Amino acid sequence: MDERIAEMRDDPAVDLTVDGNAIGGMLATMFGVDVTGSPGQCAHCHTVSVVGTMRVYMRGPGVVVRCPACAQVVMRIVKTPTGTYLDVSGASFVRIAR
């Protein structure tokens, strides 16, 4: 985990990153509960990381959530006038506590 995070320190885009904590409210409106403490698995590298630690880019027209280990896209969220699109095709699961 540590060495994989270290690789991302050289990524200039890291400066534009926040983390999954920042979209806790947005996700709570979709899932009905807080998921920042929930583990999710990246469908690309299969690393399981807590949603609050995932890399979040929210300065564009939508929100892009990337895996903290491999930087692949885990989730995309786009709000339109008629609804919100939630693309979780980059996640193999998100465990929501009961």
What residues line the site for another protein (CB under 8 A)? 1-2, 5-6, 8-9, 14-22, 24-26, 28-29, 32, 34-38, 50-53
Nearer to another protein, 59 or 89 (CB): 59
Nearer to another protein, 2 or 83 (CB): 2
* Minimum CB distance to another protein, residue 8 (Å): 7
Instruction: Return the sign of the alpha-carbon dihedral for residues 69, 86, 29, 80.
Output: positive
CA distance between the termini of the chain: 27
Q: Residue 93's closest CA among 70, 72, 75, 79?
A: 75
Report yes or no: 26 and 34 within 8 Å, Cβ to Cβ. Answer: no
Nearer to another protein, 5 or 45 (CB): 5
* Minimum CB distance to another protein, residue 53 (Å): 7
